Amino acid sequence: MNMNDMVVISVDDHISEPPDMFKKHLSGDDLASAPKFCTTPEGTNYWEYQGMQMPSVGLNAVVGRVPEEYGAEPTALDQLRKGCYEPKARVDDMNVNGIAASLNFGSCVGFDGGRFHKAADKSKSLIHMRAYNDWHIDEWCGSQPGRFIPCALLPTWDMKATVEEIKRIAKKGCTAVSLNENPTIQGLPSIHNPYWEPMYKTLVEHDIAICLHIGAGNPAPHASMETPIEAWISTMPISIVVGAADWLNLEALERYPTMKIALSEGGIGWIPYFIERADFSHERHKAWTHSRFKGTKPSEVFKRHFLTCFIDDEFGLKNLDSLNEDLVSYECDYPHSDSLWPHVPERLWETVKHLSETRINKITHLNAMKFFNFDPFKHHKRADLTVGALRAKAIEDKVDITPRSFGGAKPLAEGEAPRVVTSGDLAKMFAHHAKGGSKAA
């Protein structure tokens, strides 16, 4: 086996939604009150919904941009590669990158649909969330059969509507949902509350996986506003450990042995210690904690239920024996700044080539196919989805990957020394874009 023989499925990528995404799925007042794509007098873009202004549609969609301008962040749709918001162009970019299939999270509505949760009029939110799911499943995924894994949002503020939506999207062939790892920040009961029982039951009955994406619930902490931004970026994936520990202690996992939870964009290298620590904590403290682990180690529960995902994790792959190799998958994170696009195969091969062909196939695509009940080979020959075949198709289609510059990097004055970018700088930028601002702070 060599690099070009790999079939790679990415279980975590992102969409910068197009302005017309609701057009085919709503009409009349429902369409008029849906999230609106707006342009400032300066030409920058943002979304507006029920009085809220959502960050620039292109925030952090930096693939194809010169690295020096990553911190400037795109602020307008025309600064993005079309693959960020057009499914056919996304497939072109996947071909360049040797990616056979991809699961995509939303941007303007939040990874977990958080904007619909924050809106005051929940009756409208329900209508618009359902329309978003229709666009995502029928248009984005449906237009390119076998290339996208559908992932829907749920109106968890209304449990009856949540159950109904699970059943509706299941009929459409959707096999994944994205949830907030900590719903208490949305004013909802914790995941341990009986409130969630109907959702857990219905998801398991329909064999639908739960995706918990970093940043949707528990915040990724940073020490101070003066903390260098690289310190914050370094710990962002590991921040999912708070949610992972909470869900690992979920009593429903004992009652639903087939429940499936993906820790999206969380990495894998930290997990051996995490589950070792969970086992130690349980053994040391179970006499007084009234633990929910009844005769089963936390590490065993984790290895049964949780899909772990990595962008670049050489250490984790060298310690695969400490994980469940049947629940480890690759993620590209297109179009975010961590993404290795268009060089995923080269880096991925360097980190997996020491493994057996069986293990490589599991990690690159077979685990994802099984976990998400997704079979791209129903629509495409396997030979046409290898890294080599997809890249040959990209060359044939003349897909341009030339880096572009939009002049976003701030020039230094004569004699001025470069200043380390801080967490505070990023916080200001997010706040500025959230107001529909025209320039990065």
Residue 439, pLDDT score:
30
Residue corresponding to tokens 């799925």: 25
Task: Say which DSSP state 294 is in.
Answer: -
Summarize the confidence of residues 428-432 as an average pLDDT.
Answer: 67
Residue 437, pLDDT score:
37
Q: Is the pLDDT of residue 96 over 80?
A: yes
Sign of CA dihedral 160, 248, 359, 343: positive
Q: Is the pLDDT of residue 92 over 90?
A: yes
For residues 372 and 224, what is the distance between their CA atoms, to the nearest angstrom?
A: 39
Question: Is the CB of residue 74 less than 8 Å from the CB of residue 119?
Answer: no
CB-side neighbour CA atoms (13 Å) of 5:
8
Q: Is the pLDDT of residue 97 over 70?
A: yes
Could you report the per-residue pLDDT of 241-259, keeping only the tens digit for each? 999 999 999 999 999 999 9
| Confidence bin at 276 (pLDDT 50/70/90) | very high
Residue 57, pLDDT score:
60
Question: Domains of the chain (ranges plus CATH)?
Answer: 3-409+417-434 (3.20.20.140)
- For residues 283 and 430, the model is more confident at 283
**In the numeric block, which tokens belong to residue 294?**
């009844």
Residue 440, pLDDT score:
26
Question: Is the CB of residue 36 less than 8 Å from the CB of residue 49?
Answer: yes
Residue 434, pLDDT score:
52
Q: How many C-beta atoms surround the C-beta of residue 178 within 10 A?
A: 25
Could you report the per-residue pLDDT of 170-217, keeping only the tens digit for each? 999 999 999 999 999 999 999 999 999 999 999 999 999 999 999 888
pTM score above 0.75: yes
Share of the chain above pLDDT 70, in %: 94
Residue 436, pLDDT score:
40
The rounded mean pLDDT for the chain is 93
Lowest mean pLDDT of 65-69, 115-119, 330-334, name the range: 65-69
Residues 6+ apart with CB under 8 A from 394: 92, 95, 96
